[in-house]
Amino acid sequence: MKSELSHCVQFQNAGKYLGEDWVFRGINAQIPEAKITAIIGASGSGKTTLLRLINGLYRPDEGDVRVLGEQVPRKHQHHFRRKIGYAVQGAGLFPHMTVESNITKLAKLDGWSRERIQPRLENLLQLADLDIEMKERYPHEISGGQQHRVSLCRALMLEPKLLLLDEPFSAIDAITRNEIQDSFLALQRKLQFSAVLVTHDFREANKLADHLIVLADGSIEAQGALQDVVDSPNSAFLQELVETETDS
């Protein structure tokens, strides 16, 4: 139903218990469709745990998580996860496989025909500003920035409605990071997928995100349209984040 899909992800009183303590409890959050949502917070605040609840690697110990209009299934999760793209810190490409093979591996596993794979591959390379000839190269034969663009293409190959990114740009130099952020932003604007970006860097969130969720001490300090949150910081933690951005 369309009313259910106005948000691509919904947390309803969600809680997760790990080790000997609750990471968080009573989390209520909505992640809008076709927007970039940044989840920001200090180390240990639960950012990555939220991502793992979205893709079904974790299940909530209380409350509910709905993704793309439905509860995360307990069985056949590989079918569910193929609706979701995933990119983590570092490009994470298979070094023994060409660029083409890295990008198209999941599509082949999913049973896509070559007639469907090739146009999608070429379109993604073009959107990511990568030469078509690059598809025959191996990861060590291309630059670090190009590797990250290839990684984004791989995450988007199956035409996911939702892309999850866990600090994907944090392990690269500042100049390359800026270029990759620009490429990612251009891809999202052209393809209009929903994205959830976990980051500890408020400047990155401020550059990329439309929507912001701020985590601190096991709870949500603030959430909403990024500019609204920035204009009215409602806690000392958030005020510090905003001041850091303003002073930089």
What the block records as the tokens of 22 is 């609750």
Q: What ranges do the domains of the chain cover?
A: 2-83+160-247, 89-159
Q: Please name the residues in contact with 236: beta carbons below 8 A apart, sequence gap of 6 or more.
A: none
**% of the chain surpassing 70 pLDDT:** 96
Task: Of 86, 50, 64, give the one whose Cα is nearest residue 220.
Answer: 50
Per residue in 16-58, pLDDT (tens digit) is 999 889 999 999 999 999 999 999 988 888 899 999 999 999 9
Give the number of other Cβ atoms within 10 Å of residue 158's Cβ.
19
Q: How confident is the model at residue 5 (pLDDT cuts 50, 70, 90)?
A: very low
Mean pLDDT, the chain, rounded, equals 89
User: Is the distance from CB of 215 to CB of 28 less than 8 angstroms?
Assistant: no
Instruction: Tell me the HSE value of 95 on the side-chain side, using a 13 A CA sphere.
Output: 3
Q: How confident is the model at residue 247 (pLDDT cuts 50, 70, 90)?
A: low
* Cα–Cα distance for residue pair 212/225, rounded to 1 Å: 6
Question: Domain 2-83+160-247 is classified in which CATH homologous superfamily?
Answer: P-loop containing nucleotide triphosphate hydrolases (3.40.50.300)
pTM: 0.90
Per residue in 94-134, pLDDT (tens digit) is 999 999 999 999 999 999 999 999 999 999 999 999 999 99
